[in-house]
Amino acid sequence: MKRKDAVPRPSESALDSKDTETLTTNQGCPVANNQDQLTAGPRGGTLMEDFIFREKMMHFDHERIPERVVHARGSAAHGVFSVYDDSMKAFTKARFLIDPQHEVPVFTRFSTVVGFRGSADTVRDVRGFATKFYTSEGVYDLVGNNIPIFFIQDGIKFPDLVHAIKPEPHNEMPQASAAHDNFWDFASLTPEITHMLLWVLSDRALPRSYAQMEGFGVHTFRLVSEKGKSTLCKIHWKPLEGVSQLVWDETQKIAGKDPDFNRRDLWERIENGIYPEFELGFQLFTEEEAAKFDFDILDPTKIVPEELVPVRRVGKMTLNRNPDNFFSETEQVAFHPGHVVPGIDFTNDPLLQARLFSYLDTQINRFQSANFAEIPINRPQCPIFNNNQDGFMRHTIRSGRVNYEPNSLQEGRPREDKERGFVSYTEKQQGTKLRARPESFNDHFSQAELFWNSMSAPEKEHIVEAIKFEIGKVENMHIRERIIKLFYNVSPEIAERAGPLVGVKDINGDLTYLEKSSSPRPSRKKKGVGASQALSMENGTRAIKGRKVAILAADGVRGQEVEVLKAALQSEKVMCKVVAPRSGAIEGSDNVEVLVDENFLTTASVLFDAVYIPSGAENVKALRGSGKAIHFIREAFMHCKPIAAMAEAVDLLSGLPGISLDQEGTAVRNNNGVITARAIAETLKKAKDVAGIEPAATLDELNREFIKAIGQYRFWNRERESVPA
């Protein structure tokens, strides 16, 4: 359902009008028959003059462009960005970062990295987070990921990395997964990758929603002020909803139930007016300050801990409109880190320097033309005037005879603008021509140890389980051994916990094998930040906006109770669906009809964030008799999600293996996140010292507690107690 207040779409041409009903060719010729080719008689051969068929088929044959080698599977949305104030003026002259009145249209694309376009959304992978700002000074592309570092230090290794992580070439398996020998063979011989491996094995690689995912520019960039002052920076996107993750078992099931899970979530949020919001932040530091860090800020495998340099939040992006056409916008959008505006400049990060060539070359290959900037989704929203001409798919029609500079026939236009034009920062550079990395790039374990030390106990357990899965898929034992040795040098704890799970018993940190490779023996630094709160997903607040709740119901449910809950959830911008044994509508015991959104065959618990079971004796009896309903509840419990139950539904919960309730309906042991009306009523009676509590008061209090539990999102202490569903 389209929102009435949706952002209006600009009209492209008369042919795009909804009022135009006549089918035409690309040239506007009306078509009388779109069912049959032009033939020599009813059973004769097709005539070459059938221009309608030839044009239609030719366009179909060429309607695909080469998919991206990486980041092929993506989803995107339009939005707006503006800064809060002009406080960044001391650091940059980029107008969109210093003028609060300058609201900038944006287009943001989220993506997986490894899989093909047809792969699933929920695979373990890095996620791309790329934003195109249509500023008054030109397009600025912030092309980053949801992880602040990268696998490699130098761009010359990028083809090797991608070849290794992609499906193996002899059989093109596995799809969208690093769990194979080629990748881990490469990783085990490339110690600079160690820090990134822990990020990818963590819950960061399993985002619940694009709206609940951080973004990072990865590299160290340079800001330049109006006075020519240089400030180095790391760039962040901070989601206002907080960060959330899926669990590994969920991701595998979702890939089968709904491979478009993250894509659908983004689309439905925007269609329902639950707009994703992100704050843009900068870590700002000088060259002198950077020289005092115990790592090299030009090394893209390193972060700048937020305890060392806090993130300064300067503005907000709101994604408020879905694309009109997936191919024309999401698929054809072309990003390039070299698309910058005055006030934003580069550093000598060797991976960034390689990207400045690679991205432009890639877009020319995809579009078979240097004119990709003229496609509507890529076109700047400011005047463009230069002497570029011709080439495939030229859109701009230029008049006049002058196509060179300098000239006098057109009064010297277009001409340079030394006041407003882009000027590279005058950084002094000199050195011997060679192929080498600085000594300061050789510490590959200190920040990996920082990441591990910053994880909560459940997060560490998830990393160990991820190693068990990923390395367990590796066939060659010598590769497994090298990986465990690599992790030993991060923390013996990782090796000791994960090694036996993958059959590696000789656990030590001997890295002599590296001396036989081209990589230097890694060094290690012990000083610096020991742990960082910003690295754990368990720190910080989470909004419940955009969460999805399943209401399990059958005939005999108390319909009014369902309506009250839905109203309470919708007021918090929580999406909810009634899930029942059958589709259509169900009769409430109170004569309130309840419309069914999904049945137990069309959906699953893994697609929701919480479960609610309303009362009604017949409703509970029907659910107890449904194996699919019981599986739904037990699976949600196993995945540590909030579960709420009213009246008779409490007995349904207490009878399920793994869910222990006492006589008052209170969750015993550590089964937090199970909220029952019986326990709520007992708590209210004790608080008010009365014999009984009205059902309406109990329902209101239960809904409040349920909403609070949804905000906590997961109750990890259940993980070791749950019985597999």
Question: Do residues 79 and 317 make contact, with C-beta atoms less than 8 angstroms apart?
Answer: yes
DSSP class of residue 474 equals -
Q: Confirm whether 26 is a catalytic residue.
A: no
**Residue indicated by tokens 């004119």:** 371
Q: Is beta strand 104-112 parallel, antiparallel or unpaired with respect to 138-145?
A: unpaired
What is the rounded distance in angstroms from the CA atom of residue 632 to the CA atom of residue 197?
33
All residues at 6 or more sequence positions from 139 whose CB lies less than 8 Å from its CB, including other chains: 132, 133, 339, 341, 373, 378, 380
Cα–Cα distance list, 303 to 187, 293, 308 (Å): 20, 11, 10
| The two three-digit tokens of residue 368, written as one number | 């078979």
C-beta separation of 2 from 271 below 8 A: yes
Contacts of 327 (CB under 8 A, 6+ apart): 63
Rounded-to-integer distance, Cα 144 and Cα 148, Å: 8
Distance CA 329, CA 75 (A): 10
Q: Which residues contact 323 (CB under 8 A, 6 or more apart)?
A: 76, 77, 78, 329, 330
Beta strands in 474-562 (DSSP E): 548-552
Q: What is the CA radius of gyration of the chain?
A: 29
Contacts of 107 (CB under 8 A, 6+ apart): 76, 77, 78, 79, 131, 132, 134, 329, 333, 377
Query: Which one-letter amino acid corresponds to residue 472?
Result: G
Annotated active-site residue 462? The verdict is no
Element (DSSP H or E) covering residue 595: strand 594-595
Catalytic residue, chosen from 145, 378, 442, 671, is 145
Q: Whole-angstrom Cα distance, residue 340 to residue 347?
A: 13
Look up tokens 């695909």; give the residue. Answer: 64
Active site residues: 71, 145
